[in-house]
Amino acid sequence: MPYLFTSESVSEGHPDKVADQISDALIDNFLAFDPQSKVACETLVTTGQVILAGEVKSKAYLDVQEIARGVIRKIGYTKSEYMFEANSCGVLSAIHEQSSDINQGVDKQVKEEQGAGDQGMMFGYATNETESYMPLALDLAHKLLLELAVLRRENGIISYLRPDAKSQVTLEYDDNNQPVRIDAIVISTQHDDFGPEETMLAKIKSDIINILIPRVKSKYQKYNHLFTNDIKYHINPTGKFVIGGPHGDTGLTGRKIIVDTYGGKGAHGGGAFSGKDPSKVDRSAAYATRHIAKNLVSAGLCSEVLVQVSYAIGVAQPTSIYVNTYGTAKVSMTDGEIAKLVEGIFDMRPYFIEQRLKLRSPIYSETAAYGHMGREPEVKTKQFVTPAGEIKTIEVELFTWEKLDHVEKVKQAFKLS
């Protein structure tokens, strides 16, 4: 029987995403000057105020206030009428040294025996319904807001946009679990106060449907057929959205974990990513399981898969590895048997995850908005500045967990042609 499935996304100006981006900028700066830094940073943003808290063990000294302001400036909170502005907001730091009790379980004399930074379970998921091996509803929700941000920065065709925005896409699937049409699109975008409420709403709705949607379709041509004339649009359904960002809502690191991952498809272990260095398996193992899932699907082992791994704090070897192919496996093996072979292909000890995916590099700011998964791997040169003005230039590889570099190993292990 056909069914509906919905996923949402939020923009870089959403208060929770502002917090995520500040936390990950701190991670990047610590790793840039001391790759062995251990960091767990939380950020709270509200009207005119940023509060930083967390635990750090690092040789690096940073101007955390200026790093936070730089992130806020880049997002676009640069006007006093937003009630949250890069140059004038207060930034309070309550960051202190990491607990030695935790650190002794992570750092070991033999680096290969590095323990997991926490207990817990992490999930990776992949599906062949999109070229990025991501669920289509979430992929569309991200694309809508990415293009909306481009329009905001162009500041020409649509000049009234402000940084805060949310999207939601509902797809209809047929009996074969294939997406057949978009049932509904919800977009709420913060905007300038430029007239009577009815006039503003009519203008925004017209611009979203007649400018944003065609631009997304032109960049997403494979799925043009899903954009029918029967889509139900809910554009700024409350009517007015002038007050937004951290002034409209308090933002906290780690409150958008479903947006960060698979939009409600698959599963989530519950741990957030942003603000954590890769010794925290909440982050590194979630990336590693996505890497596994994507390579399994790309190799043709299955058309959809969920991979779970779990850890005990301070212990290197995972306590379990689980695979669920949802009955789509192309080999005559149980999911348990598949999991055993996967365990032999991908070493899931924390040190080896860090090495395989090059996670001790300043690569995290780019992950903090529009999803950690489904992105394009790329090599990028980044610059970092110390409080003394020293500039450090580093070439980094982004989104390594999205690389299809283990497809041949999977094919050989499972005897796939």
76-95 exposure pattern, b = at least 16 Cβ within 10 A, e = fewer: bbeeeebbbbbeebebebeb
- Of the candidates 190, 180, 234, the residue with the CA atom closest to the CA atom of residue 10: 190
For 105, phi then psi, to 5°, come to -85, -20
Confirm or deny that 42 is annotated as ligand binding: yes
What's 304-315 look like in SS3?
A: EEEEEEEECECC
Q: How far is CA 190 from CA 67, 280, 412, in A?
A: 25, 35, 51
Confirm or deny that 256 is annotated as ligand binding: yes
Confirm or deny that 276 is annotated as ligand binding: yes
Q: Is 314 left (phi over 0), alpha (psi -120 to 50) or beta?
A: left
Tokens linked to 129: 């319904």
Confirm or deny that 232 is annotated as ligand binding: no
Confirm or deny that 84 is annotated as ligand binding: no
Query: CA 167 to CA 203: how far, in whole Å?
Result: 18
Are 146 and 136 within 8 A, CB to CB?
A: no
Confirm or deny that 255 is annotated as ligand binding: yes
Confirm or deny that 285 is annotated as ligand binding: no
Query: CA 241 to CA 94: how far, in whole Å?
Result: 33
Query: How wide is the angle at C-alpha 158 spanned by C-alphas 217 and 234, nearest 5°?
Result: 60
Confirm or deny that 406 is annotated as ligand binding: no
Confirm or deny that 354 is annotated as ligand binding: no
Characterize the bridge pairing of strands 378-385 and 179-191: unpaired
Confirm or deny that 55 is annotated as ligand binding: yes
Confirm or deny that 280 is annotated as ligand binding: yes
Confirm or deny that 230 is annotated as ligand binding: no
Q: How far is CA 129 from CA 8, 144, 174, 260, in A?
A: 17, 18, 13, 19
Confirm or deny that 392 is annotated as ligand binding: no
Bridge partners of residue 91, in order along the sequence = 50
- Of the candidates 81, 124, 92, 61, the residue with the CA atom closest to the CA atom of residue 284: 124
Confirm or deny that 20 is annotated as ligand binding: no
Query: CA 341 to CA 396: how far, in whole Å?
Result: 31
Confirm or deny that 166 is annotated as ligand binding: yes
Confirm or deny that 108 is annotated as ligand binding: no
Residues belonging to the binding site are 14, 16, 42, 55, 98, 164-166, 240-241, 249, 255-256, 272, 276, 280
Residues belonging to the binding site for L-methionine are 55, 98, 249, 280
Residues belonging to the binding site for Mg(2+) are 16
Residues belonging to the binding site for K(+) are 42
Residues belonging to the binding site for ATP are 14, 164-166, 240-241, 249, 255-256, 272, 276
